[in-house]
Structure 1
Amino acid sequence: MKFKNYLLFCFGLIALNVSAQQNDIMPQSEIYEWPKDAAVKQKLESWQDKKFGMIIHWGLYAVPGIIESWSICSEDWIDRDSTIKYEDYKKWYWGFSEKFNPTKFNPEQWAKAGKSAGMKYLVFTTKHHDGFAMFDTKQSDFSIAKGPFASNPRKDVAKYVFEAFRKENFMIGAYFSKPDWHSQYYWWDKYATANRNNNYDIRKNPWRWNQFKSFTQNQIGELMNNYGSIDILWLDGGWVRPRASVNKEVLSWGAPIPDWSQDIDMPKIAADARKAHPGLIVVDRTVHGQYENYQTPEQKIPETQLDYPWESCMTLGGAWGFVANDRYKPAREVVHKLVEIVAKGGSLLLGIGPKADGTLPDNVIARLGEVGQWTAKNGAAIYGTRITKNYHDGQNWFTQSKDGKTVYGISLVDNNPVKEISWKGSIPKKGTAITLLSNNQKIKWKLVDGKVHFDFPKTDEHIALAFSFTPETE
């Protein structure tokens, strides 16, 4: 994940103040290619029923409470304290590996908070771009299992995160960063680290790149073979890609692109992973083709409905990871985004960040609980649904059951008093009632000039009202 615009770092302070906006978001591919593997298609169908997931960013950056990984990248949008040498800053940042000791590590708390919100799947950052592994990798000593947390019986963090969420019946996804800025096979100390890409010419140093490929494949292999059932391999860092896949669309993103190919052999990675997990969903973000099984627009919602698998990944607050005094979206805003995304055919992957001690902030737990109060009563209009042709009219969004026999209308409620609800384009069958999901209240309606009208029902719902009805057959 990436922030862009303005960062302020105070090197001499225990806690750094960070100001950031998600302006240069991870772009969305314009091309989608359906997978050929029937087992992958079946898994995607199951994933599309879930609709609402949690992505957890947790790593070294939680200790100072700053942007995840990106502060050590030397690109002009990153503003560090000008009195600190760049190399000294990187050493300082990586030095948090000797201080990261989450003695209150509580993945059960995270899973229960996610379940309370109505979330159904997990994506956990096993390794971000800074290279610090949140699992007990044998490929490197740069991991949570090798520092001050090494003596803790739960030092293999990813194992216990996955187990906690499985117990709450979540679908399990492993986030993994393809670039690794700590590895000498990616950022080689022989040269400066000019930007997010590897910093040497792969064509002139094939041995070093082959070492990185093996390192990457082996780490992913550990995750796929040592951590139980995995449903999704969620790969970040779309600039690590075959040079042949860099088309005009990619060039238009404006990110730095080297002349050589950063090919890590995705066919082998996917094939090996699927030996352990047949039907595994692989999400090689922004690298369109057979290994981007669903698309992941970041911090935005597509303008129109899409008829292929996708998710919007968005933060609950202003940051992906933990930042002190972060401002979290109101439950109303989260639900409204969820409704729009689902009506357009996608899923919402909501980002939260545990504190350095391993617990969630109290206000995150509270906010997720508020969201869950809505999903618990109105989930039928969200989970297991599919898109419908007439999916939007004003404040009203529509989904339908997979068999098409039931349509769900969801009317968003804002701060303004509403006395009547009306919509066009999704007409109930004549002689049937509209049912308010939250209390099973039957509502009479009338059709005036092709538009459905009914009085605002008796309810204390202040976020969104969800209705079900039998649609008029065409």
Structure 2
Amino acid sequence: MKRIFFPLFFLLIQISFSQVDNIHGKSTIYEAPTDPLVQQKLKEWGGQKFGMLIHWGVYAVPGIIESWQLCSEAWLERPEGMSYNDYKKWYWNLSSVFNPVNFDPDSWADAADSAGMKYVVFTTKHHDGFNMFDTQQTDYKITNGPFKNHPKANVAKHVFDAFRKKDFMIGAYYSKPDWHSQDFWWDKYATPDRNPNYDIRKYPERWERFQDFAYNQINELVTDYGQIDILWLDGGWVRPRETVNDEVRAWGAPIPDWDQHINMPKIAEMARKAQPGIIFADRTVHGPYENYQTPERSIPETKLDNPWESCITLGNAWGYVPNDNYKSATKVIHSLIEIVAKGGNMLLGVGPQSDGLLPLEAVKKLEEIGVWLSKNGDAIYGTKTTDSYTDGKNFFTTKENTHYALIPLKEGEALPNQISWGKNIPKQGSKITLLETGEKLDWRLKNGMVQVSLPKSLRSKTIPALAFSFKK
């Protein structure tokens, strides 16, 4: 198969794939952690506000959707004239040509830092089972292919090290399902959907081997790769049977009659012994191991008091896809403002190319986001939500005794002479400061509306949003 085919059929599945992303809506069900070290780390994470999610694996070689075309469900499309089994063989064999000779994790960390990000979540293994770290549990890994002799072949280690040098919190993404494993998708049977393709009740020893496999891999990550702050577990259909609810049924995927959990209590005990205070994000599995929740490609309609994080892509795809349609820096900033005002964090997805470099256009977008945050970050980092967090298109945050008004502006338009809002009124005699310049601005209260005059020097500029600080 020639590479040129894949961007074309990738586009065919975007609408269908969004169904998988959008179904992971935010639930109000939340069980707060009781471990003081977890509480402390969760509070620290909650103040970071902005992070980078990096999907990178063999799917970057042809530039296609990560893993999902291996899954034989009705919403997916694959190339015409190629059998399903031949496609799986082709996909898994991409490991033989995945050779990211330009891999430069320091440049990734530089790009994230320039964007104003504060934490990273790196995909150590996606559903396809290809490992981006030197696991000893399988040979299907980056250190067992053409990249194996590279000094940075143990990719996850060098990614984590690069981001630690920038004082980032470190998150390890790990997929609970593993479609490459014979103990998850057994060649004895067909693979009709995302679930294990055999009856776990009939072959309990096979599933126990898979549980041990997952346990051992996570043990490697939390033991051999330095400080890990977040274990970000994807693949929420791998879960205890009793936790399946209407939210899960709405995904539309088949739900087996058997239990397919990986023994999170055992994993949690091991992980927190190795990494005291580590945060778990066992996505969509409400309970003690979902320390924060993760609405995907969406922002909750209202503010939420539980810890949460919106996972949003910079382009249309999570991983690298040629000619992806990247969001503007303004759109990302507007989403960040809304998410933070509603009490959440934003995790922005960026996919490196197969050669190991971030796409230049993505780097440019990140720099533009960072320019705004370098001046207005006080209204974002370390803030909390307020009861009156929005006033139409405007949003508000607070930190200690200071309140912030964040005013998103239409993309490409020059600034008006005056900005106004109708909630969170500054106290009489309070100073209003424009974070963009540090200037104290004239303001007045008229008909219940705060009216702030903008300096003439600013009106010719186009700025994604304005942020003001004041006492209330």
Q: TM-score range by the shorter chain?
A: over 0.9
1:243 Cα shift? 0.2
For 2:153, the aligned partner's letter is K
1:16 counterpart = 2:16: no
Structure 2 residue aligned with 1:470: 471
Structure 2 residue aligned with 1:327: 325
Identity of aligned residues (%): 59
Q: Give deviations 1:82-107, integer Å, cap 9, x for gaps.
A: 31110000000001110001111100
SS of residue paired to 1:43 = helix
2:315–2:324 CA contact under 8 A, matched in 1: yes
Structure 2 residue aligned with 1:170: 168
Q: Give deviations 1:168-210, integer Å, cap 9, x for gaps.
A: 1110000000000000000000000000000000000000000
For 2:429, the aligned partner's letter is G
Structure 1 residue aligned with 2:291: 293
For 1:469, the aligned partner's letter is F
- In structure 1, what is the Cα distance between the partners aligned to 2:88 and 2:299? 34
Structure 2 residue aligned with 1:50: 48
For 1:374, the aligned partner's letter is W
Structure 2 residue aligned with 1:27: 24
Q: Give deviations 1:417-464, integer Å, cap 9, x for gaps.
A: 523211112110101120001111111211112211122334235210
Change (3 A) 1:13 1:52: closer
For 2:447, the aligned partner's letter is D
Residue correspondence of structure 1 range 55-134 to structure 2 within 5 A: 55-134=53-132
1:245 counterpart = 2:238: no
Residue correspondence of structure 1 range 42-441 to structure 2 within 5 A: 42-401=40-399, 403=400, 405-414=401-410, 415-417=412-414, 418-441=416-439
- In structure 1, what is the Cα distance between the partners aligned to 2:391 and 2:245? 36
- In structure 2, what is the Cα distance between the partners aligned to 1:413 and 1:120? 25
SS of residue paired to 1:386 = coil
RMSD, aligned CA: 1.1
TM, length-normalised to structure 1 = 0.95
- In structure 2, what is the Cα distance between the partners aligned to 1:15 and 1:145? 28
SS of residue paired to 2:85 = helix
2:58–2:98 CA contact under 8 A, matched in 1: yes
Q: Give deviations 1:71-90, integer Å, cap 9, x for gaps.
A: 11100000112311100000
Gaps (5+ residues) in structure 1?
1-10
1:416 Cα shift? 4.3
SS of residue paired to 2:427 = coil
1:12 Cα shift? 4.1
Structure 2 residue aligned with 1:3: none
Structure 2 residue aligned with 1:40: 38
For 1:16, the aligned partner's letter is F
SS of residue paired to 2:135 = coil
- In structure 2, what is the Cα distance between the partners aligned to 1:153 and 1:81? 36
Structure 2 residue aligned with 1:8: none
1:263 Cα shift? 1.4
SS of residue paired to 1:53 = strand
> Is the deviation greater in 423-432 or in 57-66?
423-432
2:3–2:62 CA contact under 8 A, matched in 1: no
Structure 2 residue aligned with 1:5: none
1:15–1:65 CA contact under 8 A, matched in 2: no
For 2:470, the aligned partner's letter is F
> Is the deviation greater in 251-260 or in 68-77?
251-260
SS of residue paired to 1:23 = helix
SS of residue paired to 2:128 = coil
SS of residue paired to 2:143 = coil
1:161 Cα shift? 0.2
Gaps (5+ residues) in structure 2?
none
TM, length-normalised to structure 2 = 0.96
Change (3 A) 1:395 1:419: farther
Aligned residues: 459
